[in-house]
Amino acid sequence: MDAVLETQKLCKSFGALTVAQNIDFRLQAGDRHALIGPNGAGKTTFVNMLMGVLRPSSGRIVLGGEDITRAPQAERVKRGLGRTFQINTLFRHLPVLDNVALGIAERRGVAHRMWRPASSYREIIEESRELLSTLGIADVASAPVMDLPYGKQRLVEIAIALGLRPKVLLLDEPAAGVPSEETDKILRNLQKLPSEIAILIIEHDMEVVFRFARRITVLVQGEVLVEGPPEEIARDRRVHEVYLGEPHHG
């Protein structure tokens, strides 16, 4: 089956510092893939390159068969690549509904319209509400995001990404900063995500990783150490060495 997202020999250096080396990576439709590795392994750098925030020093990125290595971020999003940020990147003063609606309006190609009031676009508002419902946060639709507890803000972050109907979703530490009681809620929402979407999740929380992912890639110092199903990774001695001394979550 054709990969829906693929990188070929992706490299990135900042001067003498190499943060990514020959990363070969494939994601199929419907995959549940996790990217793990110690701090500073280059995981977020990798995501940033996939999204177009960072230009790779060499290598190719292919999305749905098209080379997007040089494409700007907006175009990648239009082709079906969505992301969430490690630190909440939301429109803090706007209501939750607007946060989601902005993305949906972009997707539907009406965000540039200047005449009719935004609130008259019933379809967008309906879709936003439905999305919030599936994530269980429809009740706070009109609250400004900054008034919400962090865990719910994290869900808004996911909602915005889902509103773009991505074919590939990159989740950058969705459980980061969330108190352990709420991690379960995040996890359950992740498991409810549509099965056609290919999902790449970066996480440190091993409970989330092992309950969610069907394949795991381990990144160490910018290079792929090993890739495989969770049981293999859990038994791999090299992985244990890398994580030896690392605090174990969950």
Query: Can you tell me which of 61, 77, 213, 216 binds another protein, judged by CB under 8 A?
Result: 77
Q: Binding segment for another protein among 54-62, 82-90, 187-195, 220-228 (CB under 8 A)? A: 82-90
Among 105, 155, 186, 200, binds another protein (CB under 8 A): 105
Please pick, from the candidates 9, 70, 89, 126, the single residue that binds another protein as defined by CB under 8 A. Answer: 89
- Residue 84 CB, shortest distance to another protein, in Å, is 9
The reply to whether 133 sits near another protein by the rule CB under 8 A is no
Q: Which is nearer to another protein, 113 or 238 (CB)?
A: 113
Cα distance between residue 113 and residue 105, in whole Å: 10
**Cβ nearer to another protein, comparing 199 with 216:** 199
Q: Is residue 200 part of the contact set for another protein (CB under 8 A)?
A: no
Of 116 and 237, nearer to another protein (C-beta) is: 116
Query: Which region among 6-14, 140-148, 204-212, 216-224 touches another protein (by CB under 8 A)?
Result: 140-148
From the list 101, 175, 208, 242, which residue makes contact with another protein (rule: CB under 8 A)? 101
- Chain positions 145 to 174 lying near another protein, rule: CB under 8 A, are 147, 160, 163-164
Interaction between residue 112 and another protein (CB under 8 A): yes
Which of 65, 67, 79 has its CA nearest to residue 3?
Answer: 65
CA distance 94 to 157: 13
User: What single-letter amino acid sits at 201?
Assistant: I
Which of these, 199, 128, 142, lies nearest to 168 by C-alpha position?
Answer: 199
- Binding interface with another protein (CB under 8 A): 51, 53, 73-75, 77-78, 82-83, 85, 89-95, 97-98, 101-103, 105-107, 110-121, 124-125, 128, 139-144, 147, 160, 163-164
